[in-house]
A = this chain, B = another copy of it.
Amino acid sequence: MSPQRKLLLLGTFVHSKTQQHLEFLHNAAVAVDEQGKIAAIERDVAEASEAQARLLTQLGWDEAEVDVTVAAEGQFFFPGFVDTHIHAPQYANAGIFGKSSLLDWLETYTFPLESSLADLSKARRVYTRCVRRTLSHGTTTATYYATIDVAATNLLADLCLSMGQRAFVGRACMDNPDVNPDYYRDASAAETLRATQQTIDHMRSIDPGFDIVSPILTPRFAPSCSREAMAGLAQLHRETNLPIQTHISENLGEIQLVKSMFPEADSYAGVYDKYGLLTPKTVLAHAVHISEEEAELIAHRGSKVSHCPCSNTSLTSGPARVRWMWDRGIDVGLGTDMSGGYSPSILDAARQAALVSRHVAMGIHVPEGGGAAAVEQEKERERVKLTVEEALYLATRGGARCVGLEDKIGGFEVGMEWDAQLVSLSQVSDDGGMEEHDHGHGLVDVFGWESWGDRLAKWLYNGDDRNTKRVWVKGRLVHKRK
């Protein structure tokens, strides 16, 4: 990549201080060096311009070598979003799922589309649009499932690198002839490993340090893989320390299938553990129906969960319990799981996470007639709901932890990399009218009396890509809009 200019960002910065709290830095400045790292932060000065002067002096940077971006009144910088589970080929099907649930959805909609992307011109068209769109939604890191096709998977990696999206790109491994269709599967476990290795070699050739694009080992889900393929991928993980992604416990029919196929394991999580795939670098998508024992095992192994609320509702999989997983010490991030989820936007996923947590709450039975038990259950109902702050944490730092990048991205601290977005909300005019040019500014209407907390709530619930005016990854500007 060509050397970058230094950056200076001025204005209001908002990020998760903790899981429960957002921090607001007003009249602040962030300096980003040529490697895309945050070199210094100046906060709470009277004027942003003052911060600028101080920082340049402190760093010994010349004004001429620095590109300055100022967040205007009401705008703010926010960490880029992390999508911990998204299927790039399925972008073409976003919104198309009918009344299906997981297993028939795979057969009806998903396998035919995925297999068709062996046509590289089609793959280029779908993948380009997917990366462009997710960048425009503020997704600075995406953990992709590709297809079984090596060339198309490598193409996805190329596109992420050229468009500047931080990405984990996984070739989907699926060699079980009893579950996968003949037209779309690996010929054998050996083929699974050979093809996976080819994608690793390719990504090493285009990004030797895996700084922007990294391979991720991707056994599709237990039923789709032979024991040999799973064990082989686990061996590859131990040799390379590459991350792993797969699905777990999304749907009741799927769980029955796993039970019948793997009698040697106690549980779905137990299958992955038995074949060496439950590691601290493993991202497990869904985890809707996991048991206490499975949660304990996952927490013990340090594996992470990608919560995919939009998908879990759309495919009638079930409402996953984020608070319950947090209680058990499991790190959780957000996944769009597009196109199981219809939306490629993590802001949408964060919103859905807040909504689904309310469905979890509504599912908690409160005994009639009061009493201590009723009071306890009422409290629990309140407790499981996710706040605006928690939903935005999941979308940023939660996701960063999930993919092992918590020291690099997800918040604004010196030494971290500048993966960020500039967010702008619409200011309502005095007469409340709307002009043609207002249409481009999105749906979040700020009247002026709102607190900053209220503004973030408005953004979470009514925001979209129109509010994301600039996106940077590792200091590089990768998306902008008027």
Please report A residues at the B interface, Cβ cutoff 8 Å. Answer: 91-92, 94-99, 124-129, 132-133, 136, 252, 313-314, 316-319, 342-343, 345, 355, 358-359, 361-363, 366, 381-382, 385, 387-388, 428, 430-434, 436, 439-440, 443-445, 447, 450, 454, 457-462, 464-466, 481-482
Most chain-B CB neighbours within 10 Å: which of A97, A319, A434? A434
Shortest distance from the beta carbon of A198 to any chain B beta carbon, whole Å: 24
Whether the Cβ atoms of A382 and B99 lie closer than 8 Å is: yes
Q: Which residues of B contact A445 (CB under 8 A)?
A: 91-92, 94, 129, 133
Interface centre among A381, A436, A445, A457 (most CB of B within 10 A): A445
- In the bound complex, CA of A5 to CA of B339 (Å): 45
Q: A464, B443: Cβ atoms under 8 Å? A: yes
The chain B residue sitting closest to A464, CB to CB, is B464
Known contacts A313-B355, A313-B359; decide if A387 and B431 are in contact (CB<8 Å).
no
CB pair B359 A434 closer than 8 Å: no
Whether A387 contacts B464 by the Cβ 8 Å rule is no
A435 CB to closest chain B CB, in angstroms?
Answer: 10
Query: A125-B428, A125-B432 given. 13 additional CB < 8 A pairs?
Result: A94-B458, A96-B454, A96-B458, A98-B457, A127-B432, A128-B431, A132-B432, A133-B443, A136-B434, A319-B359, A343-B462, A363-B363, A439-B481
> What residues of chain B lie closer than 8 Å to A366, measured between beta carbons?
252
The CB with the most chain B CB atoms within 10 A, among A314, A343, A358, A459, is that of A358
Chain B residue contacts of A385, Cβ below 8 A:
99, 316
Query: Do B98 and A387 touch (CB < 8 A)?
Result: yes
Q: List 12 A-B contacts (CB under 8 A).
A: A94-B445, A94-B458, A95-B457, A99-B382, A125-B447, A132-B433, A314-B355, A314-B358, A316-B361, A342-B462, A439-B481, A464-B464
Residues in B with CB closer than 8 Å to A454 are 96
Q: How near does chain B come to A316, taking the closest CB pair, in angstroms?
A: 5
* Docked CA distance A61–B450 (Å): 54
Given A125-B430, A358-B313, A466-B439, answer yes or no on A95-B458 (Cβ-Cβ < 8 Å).
yes
Counting from the closest, the 9 A-B pairs by CB-CB distance are A128-B432, A95-B461, A342-B461, A125-B432, A95-B458, A129-B432, A132-B434, A316-B358, A313-B355
A436 to B128, CA, bound (A): 15
Residues of B within 8 A of A343 (CB): 461-462
Instruction: Report Cα–Cα, A21/B385, bound state, in Å.
Output: 37
Report the minimum CB–CB distance from A43 to chain B (whole Å): 27
